[in-house]
C-alpha cells in the first residue's frame, strides 16, 4: 500500500472491521441509494456456495474476458492486499482507483457501515467507474442477508456446493444452509447448481420454484446421467484420463477443456462456471472455444497453488472446513506421496470445525508444524499438537521457514486450515507486502 490517499481510508476500514459481522441489507440499500445505485448500472452474475465459489467466480470471469468483455470480479477475503478483492480485467484494482472508490463510499454513504459492506459498495462504485461490462460477485457468507445480495436483476445465480459451515448464522442442516444461500435467486433469472446432495438439492429447487427463478441447470452427481425433465437441465461433468474436464449435455457440443486450476474438485466448479456463462450470456453458447480457453486461463491464488522455494515445493490451499480439507486430501493422495514425504503446516480459527479438518489432513504427513492464524480467535497451536503431534511455531512465517528446513528436496510442504494463514505464508514465500488481515 503506497498511495498516501489510501492510507487514511484503510485506517477507516480497519476501524470498521472492529464492528465484526452484521448481516442485513438495510444499510446497503440506503448507501447504494446515496451513491446513485451504481449496482443497477452494470450487469452481474452472483455466486455462492460453501466451497468453490471463489474458484467458480474466477473461471466465469476468465471465460467472460476471453469473449472480449471488460470484466469485474469481487471476492473475499484477500490473501495479501485489499486490492485483491476488487479486480478489473483480471488484475487487482489500482491503488488510486481503490482510493477513489473508497473515498466516495466513506464520504457519501451513511454511517454505521461494516468493513465488508464498505468494501462491497466500493466494488460496485469501482466497477461502474471502470465501465465494466460483466461483473462476477462472490457472496461473502450465506446469501439471503449477505451485503452482496442487493442485485435486483442479475444475469445469473449459482450455488457451487453446500456443507455444514457457519452453522450458527446459516442453520444447522444442509437444507437450512441451502435455503439461506438460495436467497440470491431471482424471478426469471437462471440458476446453476453444483452436484448437491439430496437434502440441499431439494431445498434449492424448492426456493427456485417459490421465487419463480429459472431456467435451472445442475451438475449431475456421479450416479446420474444427463437429462432434461421438470424444467431442470441435468448435465454431466467428469475427468478424462488425461485430467481434462469433459462437460456433456449442456451445449450441442461436448466441451473438453484443460483446467487452469488444479484438483479433481475443480471439474464440478468448471461445470458450474460453464453453465452460468451459457445460461446468463446466451450469445456465448455458439462459441465453446471461448469456454475452453477461459477455463484453461483461469487462475486463483491459494487454491492448490504450487510455489517453489529453496528447492522445495510448497502447496498452498485455502481449505478451511472439512469439505475443503477432504478435497485437498484427495489431491495430495493422487500425487502418490507417502506420509514421510509430506510436511503439513496447519492452523485454524477456533470457530471452524478444525478437528474434522485435522483428522483428514494430519495422517497425510509424518511431520507437522502448527501456527495460529491472524484474524479471529485461532485454535491454540498446542491444542492442535495434542491431537496430532507436531512442532509449534509462533506465527505462520516462522512455520513455513521451519517446514522448508525439515523438508527434503523431493518432499511436499502442504499449507492449509485457514485462508489467513495461507495468505500470510504466501506473502512470505513471494516477498509480498501484506495489508492487515481482516477475517471478514
Distance, in Å, from the CA atom of 333 to the CA atom of 321, rounded to the nearest integer, reads 18
Q: What is the pLDDT of residue 286?
A: 63
User: Could you tell me the three cell numbers for 62?
Assistant: 476468465
In order along its 440 residues, the chain shows pLDDT tens digits of: 456 788 888 888 888 877 667 788 999 999 999 999 999 999 999 999 999 999 999 999 999 999 999 999 999 999 988 899 999 999 999 999 999 999 999 988 777 889 899 999 999 999 999 999 999 999 998 899 999 999 999 999 999 999 887 767 778 899 999 999 999 999 999 999 999 999 999 999 999 999 999 899 999 988 888 788 778 999 999 999 998 999 999 988 899 999 999 998 999 999 999 999 999 998 777 688 999 999 999 999 999 999 998 889 999 999 989 989 999 999 999 999 999 999 999 999 998 999 999 999 999 999 999 999 987 889 999 999 999 999 999 999 999 999 999 999 889 999 999 999 999 999 999 998 888 777 66
What pLDDT, on a 0 to 100 scale, did the predictor assign at position 439? 67
**Where would I find the beta strands (DSSP E) of 160-304?**
191-193, 216-219, 227-229, 232-239, 245-248, 255-257
What does the pLDDT read at residue 433? 84
DSSP structure string for 393-423: -SSHHHHHHHHHHHS-TT-EEEEES-HHHHH
Beta bridge partners of 21: none
pLDDT tens sequence across 249-265: 998 889 999 999 999 89
Residues 109-148 as b/e (b if ≥16 CB within 10 A, e otherwise) read: beeebbbbbbbbbbbbbbbbebebbbbbbbbbbbbbbbbb
Distance in angstroms (rounded) separating the CA atoms of residues 294 and 269: 13
Q: Count the residues in the chain.
A: 440
Distances (CA, A) of 156 to 186, 409, 410: 9, 46, 45
d(CA 120, CA 116): 6
Query: Mind listing the domains of the chain with CATH numbers?
Result: 6-297 (3.40.1190.10), 305-430 (3.90.190.20)
Q: What angle do CA 125, 127, 133 make, to 5 degrees?
A: 145
pLDDT score at 82: 86
pLDDT the model gives residue 15:
81
| Residue 288, pLDDT score | 86
Alpha-carbon distance of 213 to 156, in angstroms, equals 10
Amino acid at each position: 500500500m503506497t498511495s498516501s490517499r489510501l492510507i487514511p481510508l484503510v485506517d477507516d476500514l480497519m476501524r470498521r472491521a472492529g464492528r465484526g459481522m452484521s448481516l442485513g441489507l438495510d444499510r446497503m440499500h440506503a448507501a447504494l441509494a446515496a451513491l446513485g445505485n451504481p449496482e443497477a448500472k452494470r450487469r452481474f452474475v452472483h455466486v455462492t456456495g460453501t466451497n468453490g465459489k471463489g474458484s467458480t467466480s474466477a473461471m466465469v470471469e476468465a471465460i467472460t474476458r476471453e469473449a472480449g468483455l471488460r470484466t469485474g470480479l469481487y471476492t473475499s477475503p484477500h490473501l495479501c492486499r485489499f486490492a485483491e478483492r476488487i479486480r478489473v480485467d483480471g488484475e487487482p484494482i489500482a491503488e488510486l482507483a481503490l482510493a477513489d472508490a473508497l473515498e466516495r463510499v466513506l464520504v457519501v454513504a451513511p454511517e454505521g457501515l461494516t468493513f465488508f459492506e464498505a468494501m462491497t459498495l466500493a466494488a460496485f462504485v469501482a466497477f461502474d467507474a471502470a465501465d465494466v461490462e460483466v461483473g462476477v460477485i462472490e457472496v461473502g457468507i450465506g446469501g439471503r442477508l449477505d451485503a452482496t445480495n442487493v442485485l435486483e436483476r442479475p444475469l445469473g445465480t449459482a450455488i457451487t456446493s453446500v456443507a455444514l459451515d457457519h452453522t450458527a448464522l446459516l442453520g444447522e442442516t444442509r437444507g437450512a444452509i441451502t435455503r439461506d444461500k438460495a436467497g440470491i435467486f431471482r424471478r426469471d433469472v437462471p440458476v446453476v447448481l453444483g452436484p448437491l446432495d439430496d437434502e440441499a438439492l431439494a431445498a434449492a429447487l424448492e426456493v427456485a420454484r417459490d421465487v419463480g427463478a429459472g431456467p435451472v441447470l445442475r451438475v449431475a452427481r456421479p450416479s446420474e446421467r444427463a437429462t432434461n425433465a421438470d424444467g431442470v437441465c441435468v448435465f454431466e461433468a467428469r475427468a478424462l484420463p488425461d485430467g481434462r474436464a469433459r462437460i456433456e449435455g449442456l451445449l450441442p457440443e461436448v466441451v473438453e477443456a484443460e483446467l487452469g486450476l488444479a484438483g479433481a474438485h475443480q471439474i464440478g466448479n468448471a461445470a458450474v462456471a460453464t453453465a452460468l456463462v451459457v445460461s446468463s450470456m446466451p450469445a456465448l453458447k455458439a462459441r465453446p472455444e471461448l469456454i475452453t480457453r477461459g477455463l484453461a486461463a483461469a487462475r486463483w491464488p491459494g487454491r492448490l497453488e504450487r510455489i517453489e522455494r529453496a528447492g522445495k515445493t510448497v502447496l498452498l490451499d485455502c481449505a478451511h472446513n472439512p469439505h475443503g480439507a477432504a478435497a485437498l486430501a484427495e489431491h495430495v493422495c493422487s500425487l502418490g506421496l507417502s506420509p514421510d514425504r509430506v510436511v503439513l503446516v496447519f492452523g485454524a480459527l477456533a470457530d471452524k470445525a478444525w478437528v474434522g479438518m485435522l483428522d483428514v489432513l494430519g495422517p497425510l504427513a509424518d511431520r507437522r508444524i502448527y501456527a495460529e492464524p491472524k484474524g479471529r480467535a485461532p485454535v491454540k497451536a498446542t491444542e492442535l499438537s495434542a491431537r496430532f503431534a507436531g512442532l509449534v511455531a509462533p506465527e505462520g512465517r516462522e512455520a513455513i521457514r521451519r517446514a522448508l528446513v525439515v523438508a527434503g528436496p523431493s518432499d511436499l510442504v502442504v499449507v492449509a486450515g485457514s485462508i489467513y494463514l495461507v495468505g500470510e505464508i504466501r506473502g512470505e514465500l513471494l516477498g509480498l507486502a501484506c495489508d492487515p488481515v481482516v477475517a471478514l
